[in-house]
Structure 1
Amino acid sequence: MSSSSSGSQTEILAADECWKYLHSSYIGRLAVINDAVPEIFPVNFMTMGTMVVFRTAPGTKLRALLSGGPVAFETDGLNAYSTEVWSVVVKGTPGPFDGDPASLQQGGPDREPWQAGLKEHLVQITPSEVSGRRFALTPRTRWWPPQDFSSDWT
């Protein structure tokens, strides 16, 4: 574990632990560059081996993905007791899903898109980097009252 200046202990996750969390998750955030502007989209996803796979419809997200630029994908969660949180980031290249679409049927209902509409484009992210971290959750009494950080931004 490493320490930040605030004293919290952050554990850097090994790649196999990152994939364990990715395999157990079903919603994340996809970051793309759209005409030189960053955009973030929530997506339901599943993993196929070491690929992140999701469905999408035509629109801003698909146009950005088709540009061929790198993307970032992030998912996070907490343990059953809400005492520990984790975050995993996958950086890589998007492309059309090259597996058997029938294999995606085994993913379960949580893997289906939450938003209504036809999502006929299957996209996979081929990872170039996978990283993650885990740390103990600070008790809420230490989060409140909110502090004014405006002087830190000047």
Structure 2
Amino acid sequence: MDSRNLPKIENLSFDDCWELLDNDTVGRLAIVVDEHPEIFPVNYAVHLRSIVFRTAPGSKLWGARMERPAALEIDGYDPASEQAWSVVVRGETEIIEDQGVKDAVDGLGLEPWQPGEKANYVRLNAKALTGRRFRVNKPDIWNTRLQDRRRASFE
């Protein structure tokens, strides 16, 4: 295919990335566990241009205590504009100990979705932030799977 006919990929600004992050609540957290990558869904809040989530003792908390690199990714699709987007935050994690900061984060509506005690607050400090948006290929009305989000543009 001729590169002139490829859909344009728009690199998002930092402000656009933070706006998309702020308007979402669930992402996929990638950390290293036992020397291999693991991915966990987490609900989060944006606080002071960083990502904060709550967790119970376990892999996510252990990864945060080890201060290893981590990443969080969100994505979405807008059927009205037929555009998809993706945002990735990379950085290092830290445990939040200050009760005032915890209270501020709770004030943002950060409430765990999964049952159980989630008393540990973890911050992912952004060292790199990237995002992109692009128009998706038009779906083939006869061959596109029923689960494909692009179907919403013609249903």
Same fold (TM over 0.5): yes
**Does the 8 Å CA contact 1:22/1:88 hold for their aligned counterparts?**
yes
Structure 2 SS opposite 1:100:
helix
Q: Which moved more, 1:62-71 or 1:35-44?
A: 62-71
Q: How big is the shift at 1:80?
A: 5.8
Change (3 A) 1:80 1:112: farther
Q: Report sequence identity in percent.
A: 39
User: Comparing 80-89 with 52-61, which one deviates more in the overlay?
Assistant: 80-89
- C-alpha deviations, 1:74-122, integer Å up to 9, x for none? 11122362611111100001001256211123323xx422111111100
Question: How far did 1:69 drift?
Answer: 1.0
Q: After the TM superposition, list the runs of 4 or more consecutive aligned residues in structure 1 that deviate by more than 4 angstroms.
A: 3-6, 142-146
Alignment of 1:101 with 2:110, yes or no, is no
Q: CA deviation at 1:7?
A: 1.7
1:82–1:137 Cα contact (<8 Å) kept: no
- Give the TM-score taking structure 2 as reference length: 0.81
Q: How does 1:25-64 map to 2 (within 5 A)?
A: 25-64=24-63
**Does structure 1 conserve the Cα–Cα contact (< 8 Å) formed by 2:50 and 2:124?**
yes
Query: How many pairs align?
Result: 142
In structure 2, the gaps of 5 or more residues are: 146-155
Deviation per residue, 1:54-86 (Å, 9 max, x gap): 001111222122221110111112236261111
